[in-house]
Amino acid sequence: MAVTAAMIKDLRAQTGAGMMDCKKVLTETEGNFDKAVEELRKKGLAANAKKAGRIASEGLVECYVHGNGKIGVMVEVNCETDFVARNPDFQNFCRDIAMHIAASNPPYLRREEVPTEIVSKEREILAAQIADEGKPANVVEKIVEGRVNKFYKENCLLEQPFVKEPKQTIEELTNAQVAVIGEKISIRRFARFALGEGIEKKEEDFAAEVAKTASGN
């Protein structure tokens, strides 16, 4: 299949990879879009692994305020050089992460930060629920493991589906940026504040609202 400019544009939009990288991988996969996405993500993961030992102390503290001051986010994203910190692609990435946090409200950055007692309690509750269904012990164990992984995906920023592109996790989005920019990039920490948090109020779909704002609609 011939690789077209439209295919390259679509692949760039989904992965954030460079034009030549998109063209090359589309050619290698004979125009198979899904395979091309997978290959670019693998390359991003490999690039990030190679750079894992590097020191990334530059970067940005991105601030995002949503809904006329109803939600505020601060997130520190690190890179290796001040040059990259001034790069518009890196800055847009930082803003996307802040907007995602505003929409998805993750309690933790990565699964290693989830307190052991919370995971243990979650396992106990899930095991008790499934045991009541009369399933064998080995089946219960597999189901519990699957649901615990789901818990991580819902509560850990790096494992959450990106609000603007749900087929891609935040970790995959970060790896794609590493492949594009060529430096180690890491999300170090974040804080999210909601006006009147803890006070009973009307529920709103902030994820949909942030996604709408991001798309310009």
Q: Which of 71, 85, 82 is nearest to 192 (CA)?
A: 71
Q: Structure pTM?
A: 0.69
Give, in degrees to the nearest 5, the angle at Cα 174 between 52 and 34: 115
Measure the CA–CA gap between 19 and 15, rounded to whole angstroms. 11
pLDDT recorded at residue 140: 75
Rounded to the nearest 5 degrees, what angle is found at the Cα of 102, between the Cα atoms of 99 and 108? Answer: 110
Q: Which residue has the higher pLDDT, 43 or 71?
A: 71
Provide the residue range defining the domain that includes 164: 58-110+156-215
- 90 and 74 fall within a common domain: yes
**Spatial distance between the Cα atoms of 53 and 43, rounded to a whole number of angstroms:** 17
pLDDT at 133: 72
- Other C-beta atoms closer than 10 Å to the C-beta of 135 total 13
Same-domain check for residues 105 and 160:
yes
Instruction: Give the pLDDT confidence score for residue 127 in this predicted structure.
Output: 80
Residues 91 and 198 in one domain: yes
What are 108-139's pLDDT values in tens digits? 999 999 999 999 988 888 888 777 777 777 77
Tens-place pLDDT, residues 153-184: 999 999 999 999 998 999 989 988 887 888 88
User: In this structure, are 99 and 13 located in the same domain?
Assistant: no
Q: In whole angstroms, what is the distance from residue 166 CA to residue 181 CA?
A: 22
- pLDDT level of residue 203 (50, 70, 90 thresholds): low
Residue 147 has pLDDT above 60, yes or no: yes
Q: Which two tokens stand for residue 30?
A: 């004979």
Residue 142 and residue 41 share a domain: no
CATH of the domain at 134: 1.10.286
Residue 112: the pLDDT is: 94
Give me the number of domains the chain comprises.
3
CATH of the domain at 17: 1.10.8.10
For the stretch 4-31, pLDDT in tens is 888 888 877 666 566 777 888 888 888 8
CB burial of 152-184 (b: ≥16 within 10 Å; e: otherwise) equals beebbbbbbbbbebeebbbbbbbbbbbbbbebb
* 44-69 pLDDT per residue, tens: 655 555 555 677 789 999 999 998 89
What's the whole-number average pLDDT of the chain?
A: 84
Residues 160 and 149 in one domain: no
| The predicted structure's pLDDT at residue 182 | 81
Task: With H, G, I as helix, E, B as strand and everything else as coil, classify residue 69.
Answer: coil
Q: Which of 63-72, 75-84, 87-96, 191-200 has the lowest mean pLDDT?
A: 191-200
Count, residues in the chain:
217
